[in-house]
Amino acid sequence: MLIVSTLVSRGQSTQATAYLDPNSPFSPEFTSALQSKKVPLTVTTDPANAQYLVNFNLANNNGSVVQGIASVITSGTYETGAWDRATIQVVDAHSKNIVFSYTCKKYSQNSGDPTKSVAECLAKHWKSQLGK
């Protein structure tokens, strides 16, 4: 039993802990993306227990019918220009230094679910940064 406890506590200590604001509408999507991309992080809703504090800046553009019509005329396909964009900023909870920042922008016509695609993009890039 002691061996199992030691292994579990060692396993937990190697993973970083990140605070995501539970009131952010993007947090559930990003948490899912972290799991999908197998990012070695434990997500917490208590900033006092976190190594990293994660903030998002979200923006989107619904495109326009006019742009869609113009795209049909010029390229033969209807593309409104709609997009979703998210910027992640990761702050070291102890030093307050920004340790990672990245922006992903996905166009609706290229992605079935642009919000999910943006979240997975951010998770993938943060994962590659954690490995350095």
| Structure confidence by residue, pLDDT tens digits, 29-42 | 999 999 999 999 99
Which of 13-27, 70-84, 93-107 holds the top average pLDDT?
93-107
Summarize pLDDT for 98-121 with one digit per residue, the tens. Answer: 999 999 988 876 667 888 999 999
pLDDT for position 57: 93
Query: Does position 55 have pLDDT exceeding 70, yes or no?
Result: yes
Query: Does position 4 have pLDDT exceeding 60, yes or no?
Result: no
pLDDT for position 109: 67
CA angle 65, 111, 119 (to 5 degrees): 120
Mean pLDDT value across the chain? 83
Q: Among residues 82, 80, 77, 89, which one has the least CA distance to residue 113? A: 82
Euclidean distance between CA atoms 77 and 61, whole angstroms = 19
Higher pLDDT, 36 or 81: 36
First CA to last CA distance, the chain: 34
The whole model's pTM is what?
Answer: 0.75
Q: Are strands 52-61 and 83-92 parallel, antiparallel or unpaired?
A: antiparallel
Query: Does position 82 have pLDDT exceeding 90, yes or no?
Result: no
Q: Percent of the chain beyond pLDDT 90?
A: 55
